[in-house]
Amino acid sequence: MANDPLLQPFQLKHLTLKNRLMMTSHEPAYPEEGMPKALYREYHVERARAGLGLTMTAGSAAVAKDSPPVFNNILAYKDEVVPWMRELTDACHEHGTAVMIQLTHLGRRTRWDKGDWLPAVSASHRREASHRAFPKQVEEWDIERLIRDYADAAERMHAAGLDGIELQAYGHLMDQFWSPLTNTLEAPYGGDLENRLRFTFDVLRAIRQRVGETFIVGVRYTGDEMLPGGLTAGDGMAISRRLKESGLVDFLNVIRGHIDTDAGLTDVIPIQGMPSAPHLDFAGEIRRQVDFPTFHGAKIQDVATARHAIASGKVDMIGMTRAHMADPHIVRKIMEGREEEIRPCVGANYCLDRIYQGGAAYCIHNAATGRETTMPHTIPTAAKKRRVVIVGAGPAGLEAARVAGERGHEVVVLEAASDAGGQVRLTAQSKRRREMMGIVDWRLARCEALGVEIRYNVWAEVEEVLAEKPDVVIVATGGYPMEDQPEVGHDLVVNTWDILSGHVAPGSRVLLFDDAGDHAALQAAEVIAATGAELEIMTPDRSFSAEIMAMNLVPYMRALQRPNVTFTPTYRLKSVQRGEGELLARITSDYAVQDQLDLDQERRIDQVVVNYGITPMADVYFDLKPHSSNGGEVNYDDLIAGQPQAVVRNPDGSFQLFRIGDAVESRNTHAAIYDALRLVKDI
Ligand X SMILES: Cc1cc2nc3c(=O)[nH]c(=O)nc-3n(C[C@H](O)[C@H](O)[C@H](O)COP(=O)(O)O)c2cc1C
Residues at the contact surface with ligand X, assessed by CB under 6 A: 24-28, 59-60, 102, 168, 220, 269, 297-300, 319-323, 351-352, 355, 361
- Nearer to ligand X (CB atom), residue 166 or residue 285: 166
Looking at residue 610, what DSSP letter applies?
E
Nearest distance from C-beta of residue 99 to ligand X, angstroms: 15
Nearest distance from C-beta of residue 547 to ligand SF4, angstroms: 15
Nearest distance from C-beta of residue 252 to ligand X, angstroms: 13
Please choose which of ligand SF4, ligand X, none residue 318 contacts, taking the beta carbon within 5 to 8 angstroms, the exact cut-off set by kind.
Answer: none
Separation CA 331–CA 22 (nearest Å): 10
Question: Strands 614-616 and 607-611, how do they pair?
Answer: unpaired
By CB under 6 A, name the one of 22, 50, 317, 351 that touches ligand SF4. 351
- Nearer to ligand SF4 (CB atom), residue 347 or residue 555: 347
Please choose which of ligand SF4, ligand X, none residue 326 contacts, taking the beta carbon within 5 to 8 angstroms, the exact cut-off set by kind.
Answer: ligand SF4
Q: Are 639 and 679 in contact (CB under 8 A)?
A: yes
Nearest distance from C-beta of residue 672 to ligand SF4, angstroms: 14
- Nearer to ligand X (CB atom), residue 27 or residue 514: 27
Looking at residue 247, what DSSP letter applies?
T
Q: Which of 114, 478, 519 lies closest to 349 in space, CA to CA?
A: 519
Helix, strand or coil for residue 114? coil
Nearest distance from C-beta of residue 105 to ligand X, angstroms: 12
By CB under 6 A, name the one of 70, 76, 364, 512 that touches ligand SF4. 364
Q: Are 224 and 256 in contact (CB under 8 A)?
A: yes
Q: Are 216 and 251 in contact (CB under 8 A)?
A: yes
- Nearer to ligand X (CB atom), residue 298 or residue 420: 298
Query: 519: how many CB neighbours lie within 10 A of its CB?
Result: 24
Q: Please tell me whether residue 611 binds ligand SF4 under the rule CB under 6 A.
A: no
List the beta strands (DSSP E) in 140-241. Answer: 164-169, 216-222
- Nearer to ligand SF4 (CB atom), residue 20 or residue 299: 299
Please choose which of ligand SF4, ligand X, none residue 348 contacts, taking the beta carbon within 5 to 8 angstroms, the exact cut-off set by kind.
Answer: ligand SF4
Region label for 395, one of left (φ > 0), alpha (ψ between -120 and 50) or beta (otherwise): alpha
Nearest distance from C-beta of residue 271 to ligand X, angstroms: 9
- Considering only residues 295 to 324 of the shown chain, the ones binding ligand SF4 according to CB under 6 A are 322
- Nearer to ligand SF4 (CB atom), residue 325 or residue 664: 325
Instruction: Mark 340-375 as b/e (b = at least 16 C-beta within 10 Å).
Output: ebbbbbbbbbbbbbbbbeebbbbbbbbbbbbbbeeb
Q: How far apart are the first and last CA of the chain?
A: 37
Please choose which of ligand X, ligand SF4, none residue 299 contacts, taking the beta carbon within 5 to 8 angstroms, the exact cut-off set by kind.
Answer: ligand X
The H helix count followed by the E strand count for the chain is 22, 27
Nearest distance from C-beta of residue 333 to ligand SF4, angstroms: 16
Nearest distance from C-beta of residue 265 to ligand X, angstroms: 9
Please choose which of ligand X, ligand SF4, none residue 298 contacts, taking the beta carbon within 5 to 8 angstroms, the exact cut-off set by kind.
Answer: ligand X
| Residues composing the chain | 683
Separation CA 295–CA 315 (nearest Å): 6
Looking at residue 623, what DSSP letter applies?
H
- Nearer to ligand X (CB atom), residue 110 or residue 669: 110
Please choose which of ligand SF4, ligand X, none residue 355 contacts, taking the beta carbon within 5 to 8 angstroms, the exact cut-off set by kind.
Answer: ligand X
**In Å, how far are 146, 257, 557 from 236, measured between CA atoms?**
24, 11, 30
Nearest distance from C-beta of residue 360 to ligand X, angstroms: 9
**In Å, how far are 17, 308, 478, 485, 578 from 490, measured between CA atoms?**
62, 54, 22, 5, 11
- Nearer to ligand SF4 (CB atom), residue 283 or residue 325: 325
User: Max alpha carbon distance in the chain (Å)?
Assistant: 84
Please choose which of ligand X, ligand SF4, none residue 294 contacts, taking the beta carbon within 5 to 8 angstroms, the exact cut-off set by kind.
Answer: none
Q: Please tell me whether residue 326 binds ligand SF4 under the rule CB under 6 A.
A: yes
Nearest distance from C-beta of residue 346 to ligand SF4, angstroms: 4
Q: Which of 561, 554, 547 lies closest to 611 in space, CA to CA?
A: 547
Q: Please tell me whether residue 363 binds ligand SF4 under the rule CB under 6 A.
A: yes
Q: Please tell me whether residue 349 binds ligand SF4 under the rule CB under 6 A.
A: yes
- Considering only residues 328 to 347 of the shown chain, the ones binding ligand SF4 according to CB under 6 A are 345-347
Q: Are 231 and 196 in contact (CB under 8 A)?
A: no
- Nearer to ligand X (CB atom), residue 48 or residue 346: 346
Separation CA 35–CA 450 (nearest Å): 40
- Nearer to ligand X (CB atom), residue 283 or residue 494: 283
Please choose which of ligand X, ligand SF4, none residue 319 contacts, taking the beta carbon within 5 to 8 angstroms, the exact cut-off set by kind.
Answer: ligand X
Contacts of 98 (CB under 8 A, 6+ apart): 15, 17, 18, 53, 54, 55, 92, 163, 164
- Nearer to ligand X (CB atom), residue 185 or residue 219: 219
By CB under 6 A, name the one of 50, 154, 303, 348 that touches ligand SF4. 348
By CB under 6 A, name the one of 199, 350, 556, 612 that touches ligand SF4. 350
- Nearer to ligand SF4 (CB atom), residue 340 or residue 590: 340
Separation CA 303–CA 317 (nearest Å): 13
* Number of chain positions touching ligand SF4 (CB under 6 A): 13
Residues that bind ligand SF4 (CB under 6 A): 322, 325-326, 345-351, 363-365
